Amino acid sequence: MRLDRFLAGKISELSRTRLKALILEGEVEVSGRTVKDPEYRVNAGDEITVEIPEAEPAKPSGEKIPLDIVYEDKDLIVLDKPAGLVVHPAAGNRSGTLVNALIAHCGASLSGIGGEKRPGIVHRLDKDTSGLLVVAKNDKAHRSLSAQFADHGRTGDLSRGYLAFAWGVPKPERGTVDAPIARDPRSRVKMAVRKGGKEAVTHYEVLRKYLGADGKPVASMIECELETGRTHQIRVHLARAGHPLLGDSVYGAGFQSKAALLPQKAQAALTALNRQALHAFRLAFSHPTTGKLLSFESKLPKELAVLEKSFKKA
């Protein structure tokens, strides 16, 4: 058996990625000899020693940013992310992110995920998507939650539900979009349905229909359930089906003129929204330590609630 796989089976507190990094850094000895090859074949009788360095301070710094915490224990945090908050520091967003806020909030309770004292980002929401997000506080929780998200709920309790306000009404009103997604070759900021892309499956159901000024259906509220977790998945799939999200300037730019079909109050609410109308309202998963099912729901944030109330219902 490979050395990294062997250690992953023996040291459950650390992820295989972290153990592989320790091997490459020369922190693993086999029978008194330093081995830096993760593919080294472990033999019967080998004596293996792993030196785990003290976690380094996080590269991102802590910042006191308000957090809407729904649930927290020693292993994880579930929070309700507002639109406009970037999840992780990156080019153009080195500060003011969710990670910066979590480092400040958690303090010494964070373990050394990946060799740094930082929260473990298991999944992400787009900057301008609001809703529920779970974050690991230690490596063991990170490993368990990552496995659940990688499985996409096919064999476990993981469930992710979104509420989307889209142009038009999909036909049929309940169904599945199964279309692979990859980077759009014409734009660095967009994804697209492309042959050879990664598998992407979205289940949807129309919950409500909204009437335009002429009394005909012009938009709808759609519940989406993810079976996979690709970048911009719901936005791409609904746009490909001809029903881009309201307020989505990336995938729904061609539908901006449709705002004139909305009632006056809905037009004003959409103008004030200034982001795509997408909210992660449901999240369920197995607790990484107890195995207990944890399930959470989030109400529409104020700006989406105002939009919803401004419509004329069919």
The residues assigned a catalytic role are 126
262/214 Cα distance (integer angstroms): 9
Backbone angles phi, psi at 145, to 5 degrees: -65, -40
**Beta-carbon-side half-sphere exposure of residue 303 (alpha carbons within 13 Å):** 20
